[in-house]
A and B are shown apart, each in its own frame.
Chain A
Amino acid sequence: GQQVMQIPQYQHVQEGEDFTTYCNSSTTLSNIQWYKQRPGGHPVFLIQLVKSGEVKKQKRLTFQFGEAKKNSSLHITATQTTDVGTYFCAGRSNFGNEKLTFGTGTRLTIIP
């Protein structure tokens, strides 16, 4: 079945440093979504990418969808303590399966 892996699993950064998480799918995706889950909270939708090579920005967050639509990345510039949490990518296979498969997540910790 479809697998979606994220690296790194954990990341500790000093406040103000940049952070990137990478998402890789075993199959071509029709679209990819990103979610953020704060400690003790629930996943919250951030963004969806649909087109090959698409880049979207939300303030300090930059999301990218790979040309082959099998990978994606989330980059945070100048991290802040409010960025703490686990970031998940989630993708739907191109093969008509309706299921959204979540990545393994990257847990971000900020050192003040």
Chain B
Amino acid sequence: DTAVSQTPKYLVTQMGNDKSIKCEQNLGHDTMYWYKQDSKKFLKIMFSYNNKELIINETVPNRFSPKSPDKAHLNLHINSLELGDSAVYFCASSPRLEPYEQYFGPGTRLTVT
């Protein structure tokens, strides 16, 4: 039983394309997140949603647009992909906003060529 799942696991695409990453959690959590991990392993939060409401929106280009159709899903759409977008993107969830631990998905490795 996968707690937090992401699709696809790998994504290779060309510059300028638009792509989406999907995330689902079956833990019944209220809060979901998107993180970006670069090649140096730095982990930075991008967005967080609580009960489908956007709570945190870090300084992320507006080419990135999260969408939460319901509490269990948080998708990430990226327009006009750039080389610098290459990274591993992790989805995570937590029971509520704080001070709870976060459960991470397996990650999506995005490579932009």
Contacts from A to B (Cβ < 8 Å): 30-31, 33, 37, 41-45, 48, 50, 86, 88, 92, 98-102, 104-105, 107
Selected A-B contacts with CB under 8 Å, 20 pairs: A37-B41, A41-B106, A42-B106, A42-B107, A43-B43, A43-B90, A43-B102, A43-B104, A45-B102, A48-B99, A48-B101, A92-B98, A98-B56, A98-B98, A99-B45, A99-B48, A100-B102, A102-B42, A102-B45, A104-B42
- Size class of B's contact patch? 20 to 34
- Contact in complex: A42, B105 (CB < 8 Å): yes
Contacts from B to A (Cβ < 8 Å): 35, 41-45, 48, 55-56, 58, 90, 92, 97-99, 101-107
- Residue of A whose beta carbon sits closest to that of B59: A1
Give Cα distance in the complex from A105 to B101, angstroms: 17
